Chain A
Amino acid sequence: MNCEVCELKELVVEQFEVREVLRCILHTIIFHRALGLVRPRDINCELFELTYVQCGVPEVEKEIEEKITEFISKVSKHPNRTSQICLSFYETKDKQSAWFSSKTERVYWERWFINLQIINQRVHMKPNQTKIGFDPGENSFSLEEKKLRRTALEASIRENLFQIIKFVNEKMDHLPHIPPNVEGISYPYEIAILSSSESSLDMLKRMLQTGHQTTLS
């Protein structure tokens, strides 16, 4: 079976935005693949002028929150990196081995890669932070920059959502058969956290921008 892959456009986010962004994208994908009976829930983002849709299954919501928490804890240890979350849909098939044992294997038929670049918040100084030679003018500039960055991120998220719509509309032949009278999730899925190490060029770039000594834990 073909495994369709969709690589979503990279999003540059700050740490506090990670949860909201991942909620938006993960729920949107799962909503499109929860082909059982669902009662959709509209969720208005707190950080962005966006509304996304959840499939309304509590177990899904719980699992997504746990995965996001796990992701955040991983990326907080290694900031300023590009990290990936992979949402995969699979089928389980019994693989009959030559001998009397049999085992089930997962056959993935669709994978979604969500790419996030987490930027360090310390780049943008806050008024209550003390720093030698702190320039108040720098803070006002960072506020403007933050606003622009937030607007750009919102547009990127919207673009991601349109990308999801386009993908699910174009490719549907690979979808497995939906069992009848199923409610909520129709296909099993898994969420995996993949983080890529920072490239040396990225590290050098960041050091020149922030002037901070980087420590990797």
Chain B
Amino acid sequence: MASSQNSETPATEQVITEIFAKSLHIILESRSPYVSSRNYSLDQIPPSPSSSGGSPSTRSSGSRDKWFNLALRECPAALENSDFWRQSNLEPLVIEILLVDRASGTEKLLERWVVQYETRKQPGTGRKSKRTYRGATLLFRSLYLLVRLLPAYSLFREMNSSGRIRSLGLSHRIQPFVNPLTRSEEAEMTHLCLTPIETPFGRLKHSVSYLPVLDDISIGSEPSTPMSTELIPDYVGSPTTDPLKRFQTLPLGGSAPICVQPGRRHSWSTDRLGSPNLSPCSLPTQSDPQRPSIPLRLSEVQKGKRPVGCYPSSLSSSQKANLFRCESAPVGRDSDPLSNPCFKQGMDSDRNQLVRFRELPSGVSLPKEISIGGDAIRYLDVAKLSLASGSWICDSNVQLLDLGEDSDASYPFAPDVNRTKNYEGERSQGAIVGELLRMLKAAPKLQIGFEKSDGLDLKPNPAHSGSRTAADALQELRVYMHMRDSILSQSESHPSEPKPEKGANTKESNSEKEMKERNRP
């Protein structure tokens, strides 16, 4: 770096250079959202020819950190922009913080920081570099706090904490000259100057012009897009589209979840199997801390496995509805969910357990993600989705239908064949789910030990039964009936014993007949 015209000592020059670098570091550290600079390395920064004491960039970041007794963590944005943008300390450092609208490409100036070294024609107070260093130490304490007090810091925090790509973003521009502000910018901005740092032959001034109010530039309420996803306009249940429309596979770095937004906050729409209150997924925003972040869940998807599945195009809403239910929604048993091959054998009684789905029939395309309303958006991560094999694994914190539940309990997604088409030609969400369930029933190999059958009848497979299921119950009933028969036969041989009622006998024989019919191949 060329020496200043007023011949500051080399030590002072170095201090001045470091003041510029530290200023850049402090400002960008709190204005540049964490973007991936994974490939950055110190070697990529060319040494600055203007530095008299050796380029600071070639020194380790550790020694730079401790300048002015303020140890800062590494800031890739600052390191990338250090040194090579300026030729001498006489050029100002101008950092503009911009709010960028990615959709329209417009920019709005939020802040402009200016660090400028001014020389004096005559030596001023004759301060040594030590005093300059101490003055800089004091200034940077204030600067470090000041960048966190200004309104743009709130935007920065919000963007960093959510980790999402929003339509509005923070950007910065560094230049070695000061562009005059427009009249409107000048009028609406507030200006602050910190006390200059005195040097033997000049002084360093730090100033900032910033927008004092950013209320009209709130990003908290704007619909945000999860990182590496995109919104799919034709979501399941959209009134303008066929709800059975097949959805394309979401790439891992790709689309936004298809959200089935319930009408009510804590449950599915009360219109059971009616037209669901489906709307584009209003993704959780930072303002709602209870809502989990969908990108985080997407990142949990194992490599090579598809993201969360969609409802299959050919499934009825009732079938789909049978797969999941919200925590608050009652769940009942129905013949369809009983036969649902997707439920893991021996379902957890704890309704919040993660569960797995297995062995879908081939050809079933599932929705990539289902968002179920409630206190938080619950969704499914498909750890493994293979449409060809027809198997998929889905982790979800939604409750699953309990096979052992009372069949009389009503639940919003009970498959109802009669209601697959509630309206003329219109298929409701419940119908889609119901159809899904029917397809699942036809699966050849069922995890919970139900064999494939042509109709809705089920055949228990004791070999696969690992825990108590309906098959076990039927078996047990058979045993009891056998015992009853033996007791009856014994009672016939002993006429003194009372005979059971005919009606009960009839009922039991009927149930046994039904069982036999079911067991018939």
Contact = CB atoms under 8 A, between A and B. Distances in A.
Interface of A: 28, 31-32, 35-40, 42, 44, 49-53, 158, 161-162, 165, 168-170, 172, 175, 178
Contacts of B103: none
Interface residues of B, number: 22
A44 B134 contact: no
B139 A169 contact: yes
A113 B61 CA distance: 39
B195 A52 contact: no
A169 B142 contact: yes
B172 interface: no
Contacts of A28: 145
Nearest to B134: A178
Contacts of A162: 149
B145 A169 contact: no
Given A31-B141, A158-B149, A175-B138, 8 more contacts: A32-B138, A32-B145, A37-B70, A40-B72, A51-B149, A52-B145, A169-B138, A172-B138
Contacts of B149: 50-51, 158, 161-162, 165
Interface string B135-162: 1011101101110110001100100000
A137 B98 CA distance: 45
A51 B153 contact: yes
5 contacts: A31-B145, A35-B134, A38-B70, A40-B72, A40-B144
The residue in A31, A42, A169 that gathers the most chain B C-beta atoms within 10 A of its C-beta is A169
Among A36, A42, A165, max chain B CB count under 10 A is at: A165
A42 B149 CA distance: 12
B interface: dominant SS: helix
Nearest to A42: B148
A116 B425 CA distance: 70
A59 B146 CA distance: 25
A53 B145 contact: yes
A32 B418 CA distance: 74
B69 A35 contact: yes
Contacts, number: 61
B217 interface: no
B194 interface: yes
Contact of B138 (A35, A38, A42, A44): A35
A44 B157 contact: yes
B66 interface: yes
Contacts of A51: 148-149, 153, 157
Q: What 8 A-B pairs are tightest by C-beta distance, nearest first?
A: A169-B195, A39-B71, A51-B148, A37-B69, A165-B142, A32-B141, A53-B145, A169-B194
Contact of B142 (A35, A38, A44, A168): A168
A170 B196 CA distance: 10
Interface in B107-137: 134-135, 137
B145 A38 contact: no
Contacts of A172: 135, 138, 195
A135 B195 CA distance: 54
A99 B245 CA distance: 100
A168 B141 contact: yes
B74 to A, nearest CB: 13
A100 B149 CA distance: 53
Contacts of B144: 40, 53
B126 to A, nearest CB: 15
A32 B135 contact: no
Contacts of B157: 44, 51
Contacts of A44: 157
Given A40-B70, A169-B194, A169-B195, A35 B137 contact: yes
A148 to B, nearest CB: 16
A53 B148 contact: yes
Nearest to B148: A51
A4 to B, nearest CB: 14
B348 to A, nearest CB: 36
A175 B153 CA distance: 31
A165 B146 contact: yes
Nearest to B154: A49
Contacts of B139: 169
Contacts of B145: 28, 31-32, 52-53, 161, 165
Nearest to A158: B149
Contact of A170 (B71, B72, B137, B195): B195
A180 to B, nearest CB: 10
A36 B69 contact: yes
Contacts of A165: 142, 145-146, 149, 194
A179 to B, nearest CB: 12
Interface in B155-207: 157, 194-195
A175 B154 CA distance: 33
Interface string B321-335: 000000000000000
A51 B142 CA distance: 13
A10 B141 CA distance: 24
A37 B138 contact: no
Contacts of B137: 35
Interface in B393-426: none
With a 10 A CB-CB cut-off, give which of A50, A51, A158, A162 has the most chain B CB atoms: A51
A205 to B, nearest CB: 33
